[in-house]
Amino acid sequence: MCGIVGYIGFNQASDFLLDGMAKLEYRGYDSAGIAVIGPENVIKIQKKVGRLANLEAIVKADPNEGTVGIGHTRWATHGRPSDMNSHPHASEDGKFAVVHNGIIENYMPLKEELIAKGYHFKSETDTEVVAHLLEDMYDGDFVGTVRRMLDRVDGAYALEIICADEPDKIICTKKENPLVIGLGKGENFVASDIPAIINYTRDTYILNDGELAIVTRDNVSVFDRKGNTIDKEVFHVNWNAEAAEKGGYEHFMLKEIHDQPKAVRDTFGTHISEDGKAAIFDELNWTADDVAAFNKILIVACGTAYHAGLVTKQYIENLARIPVSVEIASEYRYSNPLTDEKTLCIVISQSGETSDTLAALKEAKRLGAKSLAITNVVGSSISREADNTVYTWAGPEISVASTKAYTTQLVAGLLFAVYLGQLNGKMDPALGEEILCGVKNLPTLIHEIFEVDEDMKAFAKHYGFKSDAFFLGRAID
Ligand code: GLU
């Protein structure tokens, strides 16, 4: 998750960019940045880790003048939150600037290829490959180059790109991450989500996967991946700003329930081999000896994550036959724990900042345990403290009652259990394959549950539940 915005028109682009990013705050934030095409078509990038206010202060002190620009609020997936890892990312020659929401899954081989060609990477992000690829493939035709670049990247993305050679357009495209174009008069807007543009226009094009839009001041042309023109229908937004933040859902919990297919897909992402036979954790790269080095596993967590721990215990004990104990983090430190250097300590925390879990992790490490974090926030204190981290990709969860954060923790726990069972040979490979196939099918199955929403409402009504209370998991409101 993150927010991207773009502006092309007759006003200062930075005004809309900063305002639009503020409206996307609910999508998560760890840094923010803008790129604006200024005098003599030079692209000026300003970016800063932390809250949007940090960037606003920079732009106020040193205005970024120009009427075409793109902006990004980041929710890090690759590389910790830092000034350098913030978006936009630029090509080395300064011709292209890119903002990206999502994950470029094949960024590693692309990065190696580009480094071998002499390109220098400034950030640890997956996104930066896009900027260098554009420079590498550029033949003077901005649109054509973007199309050819897209043939080379795999993964999920909403992308906005500007080019100093063609300063009168923004190119944007999407796959599996949202992108909306706001249609104005003599100006047009791009954003991840409607709240960013609702104060400027209510006429929009909602881009579909694979569509590419060329946005100029007076026109928006949309094409499919082959270059055929698509006749987009204007979607007129009737929602108020508050409903728009929730994607049209009545409350965040409902929205986040509906986010689950994507969150689950993003979480198993690269952890299942292409042939579906193996769980892969490149970030761990453990051997059978690494697994044999511990004789027990301790899972420590609080609240919902503790419950994910209880389920993960079943996964690991069944598949890898290693004894697992699950402790509530706030109690662990005071329990004279039987933790030693033959223990693997797994901590689970959505935010990566749960203070009891962090303290328990430090204590387990002090006692000699090897540690692994399962968390949703790149660069969080727990991810920095643990020896290794497995990320869930749920995006920010606003609702207090957890949904997608919990389900993605279960997916991460299950895949890790399969990984352990593979490595120590205690799991029947056919069973592992069957589980991985099941995990891949989860997004479809979750969608199927949504299809019976109306039946469930009718069922709840029949039994006297208020429909909302039913969906909130409470028997009676
Ligand atoms: N993968 C990119 C990064 O880590 C984009 C993350 C986002 O969607 O904010 O920088």
Q: What is the pLDDT of residues 124-172, one digit of tens each?
A: 999 999 999 999 999 999 999 999 999 999 998 999 999 999 999 999 9
| Domain assignment present for 474 | no
Tell whether the model's pLDDT for residue 472 goes beyond 70. no
Ligand 1 centre distance from Cα of residue 86 (Å) = 8
CATH code of 207's domain: 3.60.20.10
pLDDT at res. 123 = 97
Instruction: Verify that 29 and 178 share a domain, yes or no.
Output: yes
Distance between CA atoms of 192 and 2, rounded to whole angstroms? 8
Tell whether the model's pLDDT for residue 477 goes beyond 70. no
Instruction: Verify that 97 and 124 share a domain, yes or no.
Output: yes
| Domain assignment present for 470 | no
Ligand 1 centre distance from Cα of residue 452 (Å) = 33
Ligand 1 centre distance from Cα of residue 175 (Å) = 14
Bond preceding residue 88 cis, omega within 30 of 0:
yes
- Ligand 1: nearest atom to the Cα of 77: 4
pLDDT band at 474 (very low <50, low <70, confident <90, very high): very low
Mean pLDDT of 450-475: 71
Select from 223, 245, 267 the last residue of a domain: 245
Select from 205, 227, 245 the last residue of a domain: 245
Distance between CA atoms of 409 and 81, rounded to whole angstroms? 22
Mean pLDDT of 413-439: 97
Q: In whole angstroms, how far apart are CA 343 and each of 281, 305, 367, 420? A: 20, 20, 9, 14
Residue 252 bridge partners (DSSP): none
Mean pLDDT of 424-436: 96
CB 432 within 8 A of CB 319: yes
Distance between CA atoms of 139 and 17, rounded to whole angstroms? 30
Tell whether the model's pLDDT for residue 458 goes beyond 90. no
Distance between CA atoms of 439 and 436, rounded to whole angstroms? 5
- Ligand 1: nearest atom to the Cα of 74: 9
Instruction: Verify that 80 and 215 share a domain, yes or no.
Output: yes
Distance between CA atoms of 22 and 422, rounded to whole angstroms? 46
Ligand 1 centre distance from Cα of residue 400 (Å) = 24
| Domain assignment present for 203 | yes
Ligand 1 centre distance from Cα of residue 98 (Å) = 12
| Domain assignment present for 62 | yes
Select from 195, 222, 245 the last residue of a domain: 245
| DSSP code of residue 80 | -
pLDDT at res. 57 = 97
Q: Ligand 1 pocket check: which of 29, 86, 100 to mutate, most ligand atoms within 8 Å of Cβ? A: 100
Task: Name which residue leads in pLDDT, 456 or 319.
Answer: 319
Which one-letter amino acid corresponds to residue 223?
F
Average pLDDT, the chain: 93
- Judged by average pLDDT, the poorest of 167-171, 357-361, 375-379 is 375-379
Distance between CA atoms of 392 and 377, rounded to whole angstroms? 8
CB 392 within 8 A of CB 412: yes
- Ligand 1: nearest atom to the Cα of 102: 8
Distance between CA atoms of 262 and 394, rounded to whole angstroms? 8
Distance between CA atoms of 4 and 20, rounded to whole angstroms? 9
Pairing of strands 343-349, 370-375: parallel
pLDDT band at 396 (very low <50, low <70, confident <90, very high): confident
Give 181-229 pLDDT, tens digit per residue.
999 999 999 999 888 999 999 999 999 999 999 999 999 999 998 899 9
Most confident listed range (93-102, 349-358, 466-475): 93-102
Instruction: Verify that 33 and 154 share a domain, yes or no.
Output: yes
Instruction: Verify that 294 and 229 share a domain, yes or no.
Output: no
Tell whether the model's pLDDT for residue 470 goes beyond 80. no
Ligand 1 centre distance from Cα of residue 351 (Å) = 17
- Judged by average pLDDT, the poorest of 235-244, 258-267, 339-348 is 235-244
| Domain assignment present for 151 | yes
Mean pLDDT of 84-104: 97
Residue 178 bridge partners (DSSP): none
Instruction: Verify that 329 and 236 share a domain, yes or no.
Output: no
Q: Which of 249, 241, 257, 262 lies closest to 194 in space, CA to CA?
A: 241
pTM of the model: 0.73
- Ligand 1: nearest atom to the Cα of 177: 8
Instruction: Verify that 93 and 66 share a domain, yes or no.
Output: yes
- Ligand 1: nearest atom to the Cα of 378: 4
Give 194-205 pLDDT, tens digit per residue.
889 999 999 999
CB proximity list for 385: less than 8 A, separation 6 or greater: 358, 361, 362, 365, 371, 373
CATH code of 448's domain: 3.40.50.10490
Task: Name which residue leads in pLDDT, 193 or 365.
Answer: 365
| Domain assignment present for 362 | yes
pLDDT band at 466 (very low <50, low <70, confident <90, very high): low
Ligand 1 centre distance from Cα of residue 55 (Å) = 17
Task: Name which residue leads in pLDDT, 245 or 73.
Answer: 73
pLDDT at res. 316 = 98
Q: Which of 56, 63, 141, 154 lies closest to 105 in space, CA to CA?
A: 154
Q: Which of 152, 98, 144 lies closest to 125 in space, CA to CA?
A: 98
Domain membership of residue 400 as a residue range: 254-462
Instruction: Verify that 228 and 368 share a domain, yes or no.
Output: no
Which one-letter amino acid corresponds to residue 71?
G
* Other Cβ atoms within 10 Å of 350 Cβ, number: 27
Instruction: Verify that 384 and 290 share a domain, yes or no.
Output: yes
| Domain assignment present for 399 | yes
Q: Ligand 1 pocket check: which of 25, 87, 105, 270 to mutate, most ligand atoms within 8 Å of Cβ? A: 87
Instruction: Verify that 426 and 449 share a domain, yes or no.
Output: yes
Percent of the chain with pLDDT over 70: 97
| Domain assignment present for 111 | yes
Instruction: Verify that 428 and 281 share a domain, yes or no.
Output: yes
Q: Ligand 1 pocket check: which of 83, 104, 126 to mutate, most ligand atoms within 8 Å of Cβ? A: 126
Distance between CA atoms of 338 and 16, rounded to whole angstroms? 56
Instruction: Verify that 273 and 308 share a domain, yes or no.
Output: yes
Token pair for residue 56?
């606003």
Tell whether the model's pLDDT for residue 347 goes beyond 70. yes
Residues with CB under 6 A from ligand 1: 2, 74-79, 85, 100-103, 125-127
- Ligand 1: nearest atom to the Cα of 1: 8
Q: Cα–Cα–Cα angle for 30, 35, 38, nearest 5°?
A: 155
Q: In whole angstroms, how far apart are CA 128 and each of 10, 132, 391? A: 29, 7, 20
Query: Looking at the 3D structure of the chain, how many domains does it have?
Result: 2
Distance between CA atoms of 268 and 429, rounded to whole angstroms? 18
Residue 229 bridge partners (DSSP): 223
CB 74 within 8 A of CB 21: no
pLDDT band at 246 (very low <50, low <70, confident <90, very high): confident
Ligand 1 centre distance from Cα of residue 350 (Å) = 17
Ligand 1 centre distance from Cα of residue 462 (Å) = 45
